[in-house]
Amino acid sequence: MTKSLPIIRTVHDLQNLVKKWRQQGFRVGMVPTMGALHHGHLSLVSAIAAKADKVVVSIFVNPTQFGPEEDLDKYPRQEQADQEKLSQTKASVIYAPTVEEMYPEGNATSVSVSGISEILEGAKRPGHFDGVATIVSKLLLQCQPDYAIFGEKDYQQLAIIRRLVQDLHIPVEVMAGQLIRESDGLAASSRNAYLTANERLIAGQLNLILKDLIQAVMIQKVPLRKAEIVATDRLLSSGFSAVDYVSIVDGTTLLPLESVKAGARVLAVARCGGVRLLDNMPIL
Ligand code: PAF
């Protein structure tokens, strides 16, 4: 039987452990998560373990990134199952602090990355990325890892974290974890479990329609705004209940592009029944 992975709960214990590792010459990696781990998260652990000697996986359901309409209490919390999954990986320790540890009484500081946090997902979920930027800054400053990894699935989150690490001069290398797809190409997400069998079939169209969009702009030279409209119409006629956006953007600033250039990316969110599905792909 695999030994279960230790869990630490305080900043003090985390810092002591990381200090000890550093004295031993180890390179430290961090994988921030909110738990409810699936194979996408586990692939982040493998990717960072290829570079770091010791890997901290944080599990913290961060209240400040949930809007008033979003159900923080219903977010899945399954620490024991997560611990079992992580015990089979190269993770070294789980850091699972309490809300009081992360936001002690009197806590008054938040981090906001302006501009990029207000568009796309930020426009749909006001304040969400301030919560993300604040907690990620706290985690990185508490742990001070050499590497930290974030999935490309949440591409806007990754772009915001890259910006804040650069702006705040946090000495960490941000790594991008490859987007993991199911066998039909649907991006892996804990939300996929909420799809009915029929919705699951519809959901599998999202990645195909984005691939067609890339083909249209790259090969048929379709103007970018037109390609976005065509993809949106196709999503709706394939059975998606709504399309929040299909946007061809600069991969760093996430601002809309007029023509394709290096780093161009398509970001999309479509709703299937009650489930919001995110996807994105590089164009060039
Ligand atoms: O992507 C997530 O799971 C969260 O947004 C993160 C980065 C762990 C911050 O709470």
- Predicted confidence at residue 191, as pLDDT, reads 85
DSSP state of 110: -
> For the structural domain made of 7-177, what CATH number should be given?
3.40.50.620
Domain ranges of the chain: 7-177, 190-282
Kindly give the distance from the C-alpha atom of residue 148 to the centroid of ligand 1, in angstroms, as a whole number. 12
- Rounded CA separation 197/190 (Å): 15
Name residues of the chain where pLDDT drops below 70: 1
- Predicted confidence at residue 3, as pLDDT, reads 82
Among the atoms of ligand 1, which is closest to the Cα of residue 33? 8
Do the domains 190-282 and 7-177 match in fold?
A: no
Kindly give the distance from the C-alpha atom of residue 80 to the centroid of ligand 1, in angstroms, as a whole number. 19
Tell the CATH topology of 190-282.
Pantoate--beta-alanine Ligase; Chain: A,domain 2 (3.30.1300)
- Predicted confidence at residue 230, as pLDDT, reads 98
**Contact partners, residue 213, CB within 8 Å, separation at least 6:** 227, 228, 230, 231, 246, 248, 266
- Predicted confidence at residue 1, as pLDDT, reads 64
Per the annotation, does 106 bind a ligand? Answer: no
- Confidence (pTM): 0.96
Per the annotation, does 153 bind a ligand? Answer: yes
- Predicted confidence at residue 2, as pLDDT, reads 74
- Predicted confidence at residue 84, as pLDDT, reads 97
